[in-house]
A = this chain, B = another copy of it.
Amino acid sequence: MASIQRVARNCRKVMCIGRNYADHVKELNNTKPKQPFFFLKPPSSILLPGAGPVLRPRGVAMHYEVELGLVMGKTVRDLDPEDTQGAMDAIEGYLLAIDMTARNVQEEAKKKGLPWSIAKGFDTFLPISNLIAKSRVPDPHNAHLWLSVNGEIKQSDNTGLMLFRIPRQLSDISRVMTLEAGDIVLTGTPKGVGPVTTGDVMKAGLQVDGKDIKDATIEVP
C-alpha cells in the first residue's frame, strides 16, 4: 500500500492507449486504428485503493474500462518497437486500473473535434490497485482482466487480445514524448464497457494462471 502511494505521488503523466482490443472497438462503433493513438489523464484523477467511491459529476454518463497499467521505472525516449527487452526493462511494475470515462462528454468532444481531457480527467476517474510486483506477471500479454458491477461480470478477457503490444505502445509514445520514471501507461480495455452510477459497486482483478493476484484487486463502492 505504501508503494502505491509513492507511485501516485511520483506520477507526472498517465498516458492511455485507445481502441486496443478489437471487440471493444466494435462495441463503440469505432474504426480499428492503423496505428495506436493516445491520450492523457491527469495524475489528479488517481483514486487510491480504499480511498472511497468514484464521484459521478452531474449530467455525466460514466463508463468503466478495466485496463492493465504499467508503472515506468526508467526514463525512456525513442524506444525501438522491436526492442522488447528494452521495453520490459523500463517497467518497474504493474497495476490494475479503471479508466473511468464521461462517455457523453467524450461523444460530444468527438463530434466537435475537441480534446478528450475533460471526459477522461475528472477527479476519482482513475481507480487503481496496489502496485503489482513485476515477478507476479511473467507475461503481461497473457493475463486475464475482469471487472464486475454489483457482482455481475461485465469484462473478462485476456491481455493477449491487445492489437498493439506493450513494446509497440512504449515505442510510439516515447517517440513523441519522453516517458519519465514514475509515469503510468494504460494499455487499453477489452470489450464489455458500460455505465455505472452512484451506489454501484465495481470490483476488478487480474488473473495469472487462473488465479487472482492479491495486489491487483480493485473494489470501489
> At the interface, yes or no: A5 with Cβ under 8 Å from chain B?
no
**How long is the Cα–Cα vector from A37 to B45 in the complex, in angstroms?**
18
A12 on the B face (CB < 8 A): yes
CB–CB A123/B39 < 8 A: no
Does A207 count as interface, using CB distance less than 8 angstroms? no
Q: Roughly how many angstroms separate A15 CA and B123 CA in the complex, as a whole number?
A: 14
Please tell me which stretch of A91-99, A108-116, A135-143, A148-156 contacts chain B, meaning at least 4 of its Cβ atoms lie within 8 angstroms of it.
Answer: A108-116
Please name the residue on chain B nearest to A102 by beta carbon. B176
Is A180 touching B38 in the complex (CB atoms < 8 A)?
no
Chain copies in complex: 2
Contact digits for A100-139, partner B, Cβ 8 Å, 1 yes 0 no: 0000000001110111111001110000000000000000
| A53 interfacial contact with B, CB 8 Å | no
Contact with B along A151-175 (1 / 0, CB 8 A): 0000000000000000000000000
In the complex formed, the residue of B with least CB distance to A113 is: B110
Q: Report yes or no: B123 in contact with A43, Cβ–Cβ below 8 A.
A: no
Interface: A77 (CB within 8 A): yes
Contact B123 A44 (CB under 8 A): no
Most buried by B among A77, A110, A176: A176
Q: Are A44 and B12 in contact (CB under 8 A)?
A: yes
Identify A115's interface contact among B38, B57, B176, B177, CB under 8 A: B38
Judged by a CB distance under 8 angstroms, whether A40 is at the interface is yes
**Complex partner residue of A44 from B13, B37, B109, B115, CB under 8 angstroms:** B13
Task: Out of B13, B38, B113, B121, name the residue touching A43 (CB < 8 Å).
Answer: B13
Contacts of A45 in B (CB 8 A): 177
Could you tell me if B39 and A117 are in contact, using CB atoms closer than 8 angstroms? yes
Cβ of A178 under 8 Å from chain B: yes
